Structure 1
């Protein structure tokens, strides 16, 4: 039997159980997840516009969902997705320019992205509530 055809008990590639999640890998996965959330949120926004165009009754139905706890969680998650994806995208632009590859810099910029996204989400939510 050749070496290529021999069965092996080892995994072909490292598995998730082998490695501890690190900030850089978690932020990479979160960046992709927020990109998907933004695409779904765009459909949600389009649905909102369609209901608004359908008349006052349709708009009231959609607004009643937006005013519910689940609706507010959806909108808050979408808002966080916008800010996180924006901040992490700026971080990637710096990486593309060749800055921030040292491990301490990568961790510092990663935590900065998370904190700025959270603060921006909370501040814009509070400002939005005051405008209503």
Structure 2
């Protein structure tokens, strides 16, 4: 076979993008995003220990629209990673590995993450008196 007749990426012709594949990739991305979020959590904790001025600066950053958007995204990433991790624990036990159950559990993971994020933010909003 001539070099110009060979497919460049044969796997692109074999594999079809699937829901379970998207969830697997999202699980890895959410883990990285949570690691980056941990750095911001450490920054916030250091600001608490550094005094009122540093804490006010950190709180100002966290309360900005960008800070709130990141906190919302981190909350969603946390719940998604948590629920998908539970799903993986079931798989490790040999449960839910058939395609239909795997697909359904993926939808449930996404739904649970969205609901848990909404409940968390609504609870935080009601506790803070609308300041969150």
Q: How does the TM-score come out when normalised to structure 2?
A: 0.88
Of 68, 78, 89 in structure 1, the residue corresponding to residue 85 of structure 2 is: 89
Paired with 2:44 and 2:121, the residues of 1 have a C-alpha distance of 19
Paired with 1:18 and 1:51, the residues of 2 have a C-alpha distance of 52
List per-residue Cα deviations over 1:10-61 (Å, max 9, x = no partner).
125413x875421101000100001001111111100001111111111111
Paired with 1:103 and 1:12, the residues of 2 have a C-alpha distance of 26
Paired with 2:15 and 2:66, the residues of 1 have a C-alpha distance of 34
1:65 match: 61
Gaps of 5+ in 1: none
The Cα of 1:7 is off from its aligned counterpart by 2.8
- RMSD between superposed Cα atoms in Å: 1.8
Aligned residue pairs total 127
Q: How does the TM-score come out when normalised to structure 1?
A: 0.88
